[in-house]
Structure 1
Amino acid sequence: MSRFLRTIKDGFLGAFRHGALLFSSVSSVTITLVLMAIFMLLNANIVRFTEIIEQSVSLHVQIQNEVDEAGIEELENKITQFVGVTTVEFSDKDNELELLIASGGEQAEELYGQYRGEANPLLNAFVINVSSGAHIQEIASQIRELEGIHQVSYGGEATEQFLVILETIRNVGFIFVLVLGGIAIFLISNTISATVISRQKEISIMRTVGASNWFIRWPFIIEGMIIGFIGSLLPIGLTVFGYSAIYDSQSTGVSSFFQLVTPEPVIWEVSLVILLVGMVVGAIGSLFTVSRRLRWTR
C-alpha cells in the first residue's frame, strides 16, 4: 500500500516539477479534447439529422393511364414485397391535383382549379416510404423496371449529396482529431522526457539496486495520466455547460429537423470519453518516452 501511495506521490511531484512544459502539454491536450468534444457532439447531431432525412425520404411513383384498377393492385402488391419498402399508399389523380393546389396556395387554385374532374391531366400515383435512405436508389431502380410505371421521383441526387457531405464532415473531423492527438502525445513525451533527464541519476541508482523497469515507469505513467486529467477538465466543462446552454438557447419555433440532440445522456457520454481519452493519451505518451529513456539509462 505504501509503495502504491509513493508511486502516486511521485507522479504528482513529477507532473508539477516543470511548470512551462506542464502548461504546454496540458494546453495541447485541452485543445485536442475540446475539438474532439466538438466533433463528437457534431457527430451525434449529424447521425440524428441523417436518420431524419432517411425517414422522411419517400418515392413518388406515377402510374401510366392505361393501367386499370386490377393492374394498380398488382403493382402495389409487387412493390410492397421489395426489401426496404415500409408502406405503399395509393393516391388517385384527383388527390394528386388537390395536393398540388394545396401546396401552391391561392395562385395554384386559380391556375389549376379549372382542371378538376374530367379535365384533370395528372396521373394516379403511389407514395412509397422506405426503411432507410440507403435503400431508396435500389428500390427506385426496381420500380422503374415494372410494366405500367410512368415515372419515379424522390429527389435522390440532392439527398444523396447532402448525406455524402455530412459523412465527409464526420471523416475529416475524425482525422483532424487523430492528428491533434498525435501532437498531444508528442508534447506530453517532451514533458516526461524532461522529468526523466532531471532524475537520471536517481533512476540509475534504482536500477543498480535492482528496481524493475515497471517500478520505475509507473510514476511517469501516473504523471502523464495527471496531465491528461487536467487537460480534460475544461473540455468536459464546455461539453456539459456549453452544449446545454446552446441547446437551451434554441428557438422553440425551430423545425424539428434542426433541433439539436437533447443534452442528456449525450453530454455525459462525451464527457466520459473525453476523460478516458485524455488519461490514456497521457499514459501512452509517458510510457513511450520513459521506455525509450530507460533503454539509454544504465
Structure 2
Amino acid sequence: MNVAAFTQLFITEQQPGVWLITLNRPKALNALNQQVLEQLASAVAWIESQPDARVLLITGSGDKAFAAGADIVEMKDLNAQQARDFSQIGMATMHRIENSRLPVIALVNGFCLGGGCELAMACDFILAADNAVFGQPEVTLGVPPGFGGSQRLPRRVGPGMAAQLLLTGEKVKADEALRIGLCNQVMPPEQLLERGVEMAAAIAKNAPLAVSHCKRLVQVSGDQNIENGCRMESDLFGLSFATEDQKEGMGAFTERRTAEFTGQ
C-alpha cells in the first residue's frame, strides 16, 4: 500500500523508526468519520509492517483540534443498527491502536473531545499542548460514548472522576487533565511535536521486544490480580533471555558500549 492512498491522513517518518500519523481534516476539526477511522486502522497496520518501525505518534492537523469528536454530520441520521455498526468500526480502530506492537503516543493539540478523546486514550500515553481541551460530552448529544470512552476513561482517571466527566459532559483544560492523570505532560503548542519525537527516539533506542512486553504488561495490569500479573511478568522476563536483544543489551552493558538492538 502506498502512503498516498491515505487521503484523510498525512504519514511521515520523523526520524529512523519514528513515524507520525496526522489526521488531515482541519476544516472539520479532524472529526472522525468512517473513512478516517478505516484509514487510521490501515495506516497503523502499514506502519507496523515497516521493518524499522519502533514508535508511532498520532496528532491532528492545524492548531485548533487533535480531533473534535466523531463526525456528527455523518452520524445524526443513522438508525440504531447503523449507529451500532459505526461504533463497531470505531471500536475496531481503537483496539487496533491499543494492541499495536508499537508504543503509540498521542500529541494532543486543541480540542480532544468525544471520539478524539477516545482516540487519545487508545494510545499508550498522551502529551498535550497547553491549549488542549479534553472531554467526553456525548451525553449532551443524547448518547453515551461509542468508541470505548466509558471503559478507558476510568482506567486513566479512576471511576469517580470518569463518572463526573461522562455524566456531566464537562470539558477540562490541559492543566486539569494533567492533574487527574489523563495526560502525561503539558507544554506550549510549538514544542509538542519536538517533545513527542524526542520521547519516541528515547523509546526507539531500547530493545523492541522488551518495549513490547512492557506495553502488554501495563495493559493487562488493571484487568487481573497482582499475582497473575506478576506471573505473566516472570514468563516474559524468562522468554526475553532467549532473544538476541537480551544478549546484546547485557553484553553491551558489561563491555561499556552502546547496545544496538535489532528486535530479534
- Normalised by the length of structure 1, the TM-score is 0.20
Of Structure 1 and Structure 2, the greater helix share is in 1
Q: Which of 1 and 2 has higher RCO (CA within 8 Å, sep 6+)?
A: 1
- Normalised by the length of structure 2, the TM-score is 0.21
Of Structure 1 and Structure 2, the greater strand share is in 2
